[in-house]
Structures are given as structure tokens and as C-alpha cells.
């Protein structure tokens, strides 16, 4: 199949497929006589695996590690469990940071209870005051 068909079948953009090839997540395709890339079912299955991992917010390095395990079926899967445990820990940390961020935003929103002019807006004043909102403490990294 050509790259457009693989893109349609997998739900990935053509550019994404080429990127995954470039960084080694997707094995290089065969070349037809006309020099077009030709993909097979293994490419489609691998893209499905990568998409599932991305849907779980895994990094490309995590996906690369999981693909390495998948490509070596005789290896013990303890490393897969370890990777997932670490990923769960990162998710828990992000949830905590988002919860703290939500609380800060709700507190900030609570400062303005009546519609007035922006010159007297307590939210805008608080955002401009030094130390009143420590956003860096609640920054969430994707």
C-alpha cells in the first residue's frame, strides 16, 4: 500500500508517518520499481500500537522502549511493567499539578464577583501583582 492508504487506514497524517520513519519508530518501507514507498500490514500494526501509546500520553522514548520489548517477544516483561509504573507516576504528578492549578484559578476567579470596569478588576490586579499568583508552582508539562 502507498503512504496515503496507510495514513487513511491508520488515522495518522502522512507527515506523522514520515516523521516516525525518520526517528526510527517505524521501519523503513520497501521501495517499488517507481521508487514509491510501499507499506505492508506490519507498518499498519505498528502505527496502531504507536497511536494507542500516544493516546495514553506516552513519550516517544517510552514508545520506543515498548516497541523494543514488543520486537523481542522472548524477553521478560518486567521492564514493561516498570515503564508503565513510571508513566503512571508521571500522570499522578500531573493530575496533582492540574488540581492545584484549578484551585488557584478558582480562587482568582472568586476575586471578581461583580461586573465592573477593567480598571477596577481584581483579577487583573492580582495577575499584575508580584507574588500573588505563583503560576510556576502549578505548571504542568506535557
Residues 6+ apart with CB under 8 A from 98: 138, 140
Domain presence at residue 79: no
Residues 53 and 1 in one domain: yes
Task: Report residue 38: phi and psi, to 5°.
Answer: -125, 125
14, 5 contact by CB (below 8 A): no
* Count of other CB atoms within 10 angstroms of residue 94: 14
Examine the pLDDT at 35 and tell me if it is beyond 90. no
- Report the SS3 class of residue 141: coil
- Domain of residue 135 covers 93-142
Q: Is residue 75 part of a domain?
A: no
The answer to whether 47 and 10 are in contact (CB under 8 A) is: yes
Helix boundaries (H) for 1-142: 3-10, 14-22, 41-55, 60-71, 78-109, 122-128
pLDDT above 70 (res 141): no
Tell me which residue has cell 497524517.
13
- Residue 132's pLDDT is 63
pTM above 0.85, yes or no: no
Instruction: Please report whether residue 114 resides in a domain.
Output: yes
In the numeric block, the cell 484559578 is attached to 105
- The model's pLDDT over 125-134, given as tens digits with 9 standing for 90+, comes to 888 887 666 6
27 part of a folded domain:
yes
What pLDDT is attached to residue 126? 86
In a domain, 53, yes or no: yes
CATH number (domain holding residue 44): 1.10.1660.10
| The pLDDT value given to residue 45 | 95
Tally the domains of the chain.
2
Report the residue count for the chain.
142
Residue 135 maps to a domain? yes
Amino acid at each position: 500500500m502507498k503512504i496515503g492508504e496507510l495514513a487513511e487506514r491508520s488515522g495518522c497524517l502522512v507527515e506523522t508517518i514520515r516523521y516516525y520513519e525518520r526517528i526510527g519508530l517505524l521501519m523503513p518501507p520497501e521501495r517499488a520499481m517507481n521508487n514509491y514507498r510501499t507499506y505492508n500490514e506490519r507498518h499498519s500494526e505498528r502505527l496502531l500500537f504507536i497511536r494507542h501509546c500516544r493516546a495514553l500520553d506516552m513519550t516517544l522514548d517510552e514508545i520506543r522502549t515498548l516497541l523494543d520489548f514488543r520486537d523481542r517477544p522472548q524477553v521478560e516483561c518486567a521492564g514493561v511493567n516498570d515503564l508503565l509504573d513510571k508513566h503512571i507516576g508521571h500522570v499522578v504528578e500531573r493530575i496533582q499539578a492540574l488540581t492545584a492549578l484549578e484551585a488557584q484559578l478558582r480562587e482568582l476567579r472568586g476575586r471578581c464577583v461583580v461586573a465592573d470596569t477593567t480598571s477596577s478588576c481584581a483579577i487583573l490586579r492580582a495577575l499584575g501583582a508580584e507574588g500573588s499568583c505563583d503560576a510556576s508552582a502549578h505548571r504542568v508539562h506535557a
